[in-house]
Chain A
Amino acid sequence: MKFYIPPQITRLALAFAIFITLFLVLRHFLVPKTFGEYGHYRGASLIDNAQPEIHYAGQQACFKCHQDIEDKKAQDVHSEIHCETCHGPGEKHVVLSKTEKILKPAGREFCGSCHVINAGKQKSMINQIDLNKHNIGKNCIECHNPHQPWEMKK
């Protein structure tokens, strides 16, 4: 007796072969060119990630022109807070200081963003005040110098 292969088997084998080939062909076109260049990712993504423009200059850049402020800041409790934490991204201002304005924060909400009472923060790590109780009606910087909080303005 001849070895019998049921017709379903051959047809299904063909169908699966087509399916797998199709998958491989698609895969060939869909996998990005630089995939696997350095690891299990698209190599060109490194270049993409280097593209975005720089927004932050780092506070060393500010000292060149504003050393006076750094001198004040270094003496007091805000010494660890970098300029751009409060003033926002400053790269443009560093390059074009005459024309490019940088943010000058003001208002109780601004200082509150770090100092408002929050059960999730430990009091010993950052001092907190109740915005609705602490000298209401006045702006924080009318009394505290933002760069040197304990140097009170009169």
Chain B
Amino acid sequence: MDPHFQHLYDILAHAQGYIFPNEIDLQWGILIVVYPFITGLVAGAFILASLERVFKVKILKPTYQIALLTALSFLLVATMPLISHLSQPQRAYEIMITPHSSSAMAIFGFVYLWYLAVVLLLEIWFDYRHSMVVWSNEKKGVMKWIYKILTLGVNDISPRTIHWDRKLGYIITIVGIPSAFILHGYVGFIFGSLKANPWWSSPLIPIIFLFSAMVSGIALVMLVYMIVSYLRKKAIDLNVLDAIGKYLFFILILDFTLESLDQIHRIYEAEESFEIIKLLVSGKLYLTLFVAQGLIGTIIPLITLVFLQFYKHKIKLQKTMYFIVSVLVLIGVYSMRWNVVIGGQLFSKSFSGFTSFKVGLIGLDGTLMAVFWLVLPIGILAFLLWLLPPWKMVKEED
């Protein structure tokens, strides 16, 4: 038998009840889980940086550049899971050169470009320009030239120009916040606007995606801050962790509320799709929804964060707990993406059957590929932190 049919035949043996023929195989696999997860990290990390800048939260200062560089590293990779999931990846650029206004994906390409080029790169550039000019004067050889090129030849560091750096950077931040909202709202919209799928189709989905994005981005920045401090053998500032922890707590509460609202709404409406969704949630999604997303990713972190606001004795223990909380939250948000993307394809649109999903290890849309796209941004981040070390920046008076 043709290997493709053999594959379908094998899954067919695991199908339950009645499903339509085109529902045997999941069209969107693990890479489509990774994609909203990564864009979420970008939007979340950026929003944390913006909080510091717009609301002048002094205490978060040490995480500002880390958050921006984290956002950039993940943004550079954000489209890759999508592209590697295509069967003709070499044609991906066509969506950009002949975009169709009715294609959500094509417009997303431009939202992405706008966010990359106009928001993130510019904000980082304005922030680092002064330091890069200084570094290009200090360094020798190749590095000197790299910094020179990065400044785009603007090496004026008179107070007036520096002042403009900050002013323009501020404007970009203001523009950036709605852009970050749009970027991730868009990802949610792509799912929320699919009216054929009752598990996705909901106007709340973009907002839920946005808040879970913030949750994951903040947790990631907290994690990166701790790891970077540890690697540099610098003490982790507990006040910073407490401040981030507070934001994480509030946004996690909001996220949890919104998601519960969505579910309660579903339960109360109890449309004709409700029976199958009930079976889905209590069956195939039980572990990833209730255990991973609900308990591990939400309830335990919430309780721990409350506890940490009161518990102020053993510093080491507090830091360890923050570390664990951020990891748990990331696991929770990843599971949320999984529940949305995979969950939405497991039940038949006839509402009377299920297919099953087995992740492959190798191949263009296998687990290894997904892990690769998750690890690559960490490598990029390490490189960026080496190229543009926040701790070596030129101090500026406020």
Interface string of B127-162 (1 = CB under 8 A from A): 001000000000000000000000011101000110
Q: B164: which A residues are within 8 A, CB to CB?
A: 6, 8-9
**Is residue B117 within 8 Å, beta carbon to beta carbon, of the partner chain?**
yes
A11 in contact with B97 (CB, 8 Å): no
Contact with A along B154-175 (1 / 0, CB 8 A): 1010001100110010000000
Which residues of B from 77 to 109 have beta carbons under 8 Å from A? Answer: 93-94, 97-98, 100
By beta carbon, the residue of chain B nearest A41 is B98
Q: How far is the CA of A35 from the CA of B100 in the complex (A)?
A: 13
Q: A12-B122, A15-B152, A30-B93 are in contact. Are A7 and B100 (CB under 8 A)?
A: no
What are the residues of chain A within 8 A of B93 when measuring CB–CB?
30
Quick check: is B126 within 8 A (CB to CB) of the other chain?
A: yes
Asked if A110 is an interface residue, CB under 8 A from chain B, the answer is no
Q: Which of A6, A26, A27 has the most CB of B within 10 A?
A: A6
Residue A40 lies at the interface, judged by CB distance under 8 Å to chain B: yes
Q: Does A19 contact B (CB under 8 A)?
A: yes
Contact of B129 among A8, A15, A16, A26 (CB under 8 A): A8
A120 sits at the interface (CB 8 A)? yes
Q: Which bucket holds chain A's interface residue count?
A: 10 to 19
- B350's nearest neighbour on chain A, judged by CB, is A120
A4 to B129, CA, bound (A): 19
Residue in A closest to B151 when the chains form the complex, CB atoms = A11
Query: How many contacting A-B pairs (Cβ < 8 A)?
Result: 40
Taking the closest CB of chain A, its distance from the CB of B74, in whole angstroms, is 22
CB of B41 to closest CB in A, whole Å = 26
Grouping DSSP codes into helix (H, G, I), strand (E, B) and loop, the B interface class, with mixed when no group exceeds half, is helix
Contacts of B97 in A (CB 8 A): 26-27, 30-31
Which residues of B sit under 8 angstroms from A50, Cβ to Cβ?
none
Residue of B nearest to A10 (CB): B154
B117 touches A19 (CB 8 A): yes
Q: Which residues of A contact B154 (CB under 8 A)?
A: 7-8, 11
Chain A residues 1 to 54 lying within 8 A of chain B, measured CB to CB, are 4, 6-9, 11-12, 15-16, 19, 26-27, 30-31, 35, 40
Contact A8 B165 (CB under 8 A): yes
- 17 A-B interface contacts by CB (under 8 A): A4-B160, A6-B161, A7-B156, A7-B161, A8-B161, A9-B168, A11-B152, A11-B154, A12-B122, A19-B117, A26-B97, A30-B93, A35-B98, A40-B100, A119-B17, A119-B18, A120-B21
Beyond the given A35-B98, A119-B17, could you list 19 further A-B residue pairs with CB under 8 A, ordered by the A residue number? Answer: A6-B160, A6-B161, A6-B164, A7-B154, A7-B156, A7-B161, A8-B126, A8-B154, A8-B161, A8-B164, A8-B168, A11-B152, A11-B153, A11-B154, A12-B122, A12-B152, A30-B97, A120-B18, A120-B21
By a beta-carbon cutoff of 8 Å, the part of chain A in contact with chain B is: 4, 6-9, 11-12, 15-16, 19, 26-27, 30-31, 35, 40, 119-120
